[in-house]
């Protein structure tokens, strides 16, 4: 893992300090101070640094060594730069290192696996945990603009990002595999009733996703566009954290945004505002309602697949509670689909 969990606190602090200094140096900036702002799959620091005599803030992201290749992270950074250059959407601009790359590989002494690092300009804005319809309308419009850009985005280097493999991800649940990598857990972490729900919903979704066309309304998407990955500045949404970007039906983005808001008492109004905003910039697919229902349900499996891979049951929140809650929601999906 990126934060050197195998080492004691003093060694970890030294390694992080050396890694931050070396990574910033590769981009021609001198780190003055660093603050940890996020540690999930990747580690993100807010770094105050000097460059060309000016003091600025940057976001230094240290990627999980096993997650993406250097080429794949380069592809992500190229897309972000193109979005900033060719649309009205504002995102954290990735810096170029002295050798012209966006990604540098740093290996602090004592660390056998180099860490892939990317440095971004710090983006100012307000994170809104409970967005209202006016926020969702603007977010829907911004999402549509990203999709319009993806329609024509064809860099000479190609798009080195994966296509969504829903069928591959769902296959384990179709088989009834709800085993976890959590320390101290062996075998399934679901009850028999929950297993039946997961197997039935996964099979139904596998068939439904096969029917969704990929010759239209399909391309490079953010793929994790929830309210904590959007900053609002003067009322305009600014997307951050493109780490999960991939090729998928565009409605996956909209479903991901709405998935996190389903328990909000204003959800119908939030959903309507998001869709209305999207339509101001782009026509919806003719089958958008079906796609939205499918990808809302599929998101439960994507999140469950991720949670089951955690090192501990409580790595981010309670994995067991997630299993129970997702089974309830997917049971409702099965009943609504009948």
pLDDT tens digit string along 100-137? 999 999 887 777 788 899 999 999 999 999 999 999 99
| Residue range(s) defining the domain that contains residue 113 | 9-123
Residues 117 and 141 in one domain: no
Q: Is residue 1 part of a domain?
A: no
Rg of the chain over Cα atoms, rounded to whole angstroms, equals 21
Interatomic CA distance for residues 317 and 196, integer angstroms = 24
Q: Is residue 128 part of a domain?
A: no
Residues 221 and 165 in one domain: yes
Helix/strand/coil (H/E/C) assignment for every residue in 218-281:
EEEECCCCCHHHEEEECCEEEECCCCCCEEEECHHHHHHHHHCCCCCCCHHHHHHHHHHHHHCC
Residues 117 and 169 in one domain: no
Q: Is residue 49 part of a domain?
A: yes
Interatomic CA distance for residues 144 and 281, integer angstroms = 6
Q: Is residue 3 part of a domain?
A: no
Taking only the tens place, the pLDDT of each residue in 29-78 is 999 999 989 877 788 999 999 988 889 999 999 988 888 999 999 999 99
Q: Is residue 330 part of a domain?
A: yes
Q: Cα angle at 149 between 148 and 153, to 5 degrees?
A: 130
Boundary (domain end) residue, out of 98, 123, 148: 123
The answer, yes or no, to whether residue 8 has pLDDT greater than 60, is no
Residues 75 and 201 in one domain: no
Q: Is residue 47 part of a domain?
A: yes
Average pLDDT over residues 11-29: 85
Label residue 2 by pLDDT band (50, 70, 90): very low
Residues 281 and 331 in one domain: yes
Residues 182 and 236 in one domain: yes
Residues 305 and 161 in one domain: yes
Q: Is residue 87 part of a domain?
A: yes
Terminal Cα distance for the chain, rounded? 43
Interatomic CA distance for residues 221 and 237, integer angstroms = 16
Q: Is residue 4 part of a domain?
A: no
The H or E element that residue 139 is part of is helix 133-152
Residues 266 and 192 in one domain: yes
Q: Residues with Cβ < 8 Å from 192, sequence gap 6 or more?
A: none
Residues 260 and 147 in one domain: yes
Q: Residues with Cβ < 8 Å from 297, sequence gap 6 or more?
A: 201, 205, 329, 330, 333
Decide if 4 contacts 11 (C-beta within 8 A): yes
Residues 236 and 193 in one domain: yes
Strands (E) located in the chain = 30-39, 43-51, 54-63, 103-106, 115-121, 126-127, 218-221, 230-233, 236-239, 246-249
CATH of the domain at 235: 3.90.1200.10
Q: How many CB atoms lie within 10 A of CB 275?
A: 18
CATH of the domain at 82: 3.30.200.20
Residues 195 and 65 in one domain: no
Residues 279 and 159 in one domain: yes
Number of domains in the chain: 2
Segment among 5-9, 274-278, 293-297 with least mean pLDDT: 5-9
């Amino acid at each position: 893992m990126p934060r050197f969990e195998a080492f004691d606190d003093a060694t970890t602090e030294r390694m992080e300090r050396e890694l931050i200094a070396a990574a910033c140096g590769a981009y021609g900036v001198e780190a003055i101070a660093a603050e940890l702002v996020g540690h999930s799959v990747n580690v993100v620091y807010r770094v105050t640094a000097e460059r060309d005599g000016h003091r600025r803030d940057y976001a230094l992201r240290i990627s999980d060594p096993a997650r993406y290749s250097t080429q794949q992270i380069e592809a992500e950074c190229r897309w972000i730069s193109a979005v900033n250059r060719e649309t009205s959407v504002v995102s954290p601009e990735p810096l170029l290192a002295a050798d012209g790359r966006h990604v540098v590989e740093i290996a602090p002494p004592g660390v056998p696996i180099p860490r892939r690092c990317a440095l971004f300009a710090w983006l100012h804005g307000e994170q809104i945990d409970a967005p209202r319809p006016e926020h969702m309308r603007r977010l829907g419009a911004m999402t549509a603009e990203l999709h319009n850009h993806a329609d024509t985005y064809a860099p000479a280097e190609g798009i080195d990002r994966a296509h969504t493999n829903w069928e591959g991800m769902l296959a384990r649940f179709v088989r009834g595999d709800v085993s976890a990598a959590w320390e101290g857990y062996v075998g399934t972490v679901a009850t028999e009733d929950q297993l039946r729900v997961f197997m039935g919903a996964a099979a139904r979704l596998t068939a439904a996703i096969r029917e969704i066309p990929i010759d239209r309304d399909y391309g490079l998407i953010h793929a994790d566009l929830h309210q904590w990955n959007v900053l609002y500045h003067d009322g305009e949404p600014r997307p951050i954290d493109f780490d999960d970007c991939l090729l998928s039906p565009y409605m996956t983005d909209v479903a991901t945004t709405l998935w996190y808001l389903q328990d909000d008492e204003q959800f119908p109004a939030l959903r309507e505002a998001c869709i209305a905003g999207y339509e101001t910039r782009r026509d919806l697919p003719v089958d958008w309602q079906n796609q939205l229902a499918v990808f809302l349900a599929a998101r439960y499996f994507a999140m469950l697949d991720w949670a089951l891979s955690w090192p501990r049951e409580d790595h981010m929140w309670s994995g067991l509670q997630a299993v129970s809650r997702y089974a309830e929601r997917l049971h409702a999906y099965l009943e609504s689909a009948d």
